[in-house]
Amino acid sequence: MIDFHCHLDLYPDPWRVAERSEQLGLRLLSVTTVPSAWSGTAALERDRIHTALGFHPQLALERVKEISLFAELLPRTRFVGEVGLDGAPEFRASWHAQVEIFERILRLCADRGGRILTLHSRRATEPVLDRIEAVPDAGTPVLHWFSGSAGELRRAIDLGCWFSVGPSMLAGKRGRALAARMPRDRVLTESDGPFGRVESRSAFPWDVDRAVRVLAETWGMDLREAEQQLENNLDRLMETAGAS
Rounded distance between C-alpha atoms, residue 70 and residue 76, angstroms: 10
Rounded distance between C-alpha atoms, residue 101 and residue 214, angstroms: 35
> Could you tell me if 86 and 122 are in contact, meaning their C-beta atoms sit under 8 angstroms apart?
yes
What is the total count of residues that contact Mn ion (CB under 5 A)? 2
Q: Report the candidate in 145, 121, 148 with the shortest Cα–Cα distance to residue 195.
A: 145
The residue (of 44 and 216) whose beta carbon lies closer to Mn ion is 44
Does 9 engage in binding with Mn ion (CB under 5 A)? no
The residue (of 84 and 139) whose beta carbon lies closer to Mn ion is 84
The residue (of 86 and 192) whose beta carbon lies closer to Mn ion is 192
The least distance separating Mn ion from the CB of residue 5, rounded to whole angstroms, comes to 6
SS3 190: coil
* Residue 12 φ then ψ, to 5°: -55, -35
First to last CA, the chain: 17
Beta-sheet pairing, 27-30 with 2-6? parallel
Where in 223-242 is the site for Mn ion (CB under 5 A)? none
Q: Which residue is closest to Mn ion by CB? A: 192
The residue (of 114 and 193) whose beta carbon lies closer to Mn ion is 193
The least distance separating Mn ion from the CB of residue 33, rounded to whole angstroms, comes to 8
Residues sharing a CB contact under 8 Å with residue 15, sequence separation 6 or more, in sequence order: 44
The least distance separating Mn ion from the CB of residue 82, rounded to whole angstroms, comes to 5
The least distance separating Mn ion from the CB of residue 118, rounded to whole angstroms, comes to 8
Taking residues 176 to 215 in sequence order and writing x for each that binds Mn ion by CB under 5 A, - otherwise, the string is ----------------x-----------------------
The residue (of 78 and 144) whose beta carbon lies closer to Mn ion is 144
CB atoms within 10 A of CB 231: 14
The least distance separating Mn ion from the CB of residue 243, rounded to whole angstroms, comes to 20
Residue ranges that bind Mn ion, judged by CB under 5 A:
82, 192
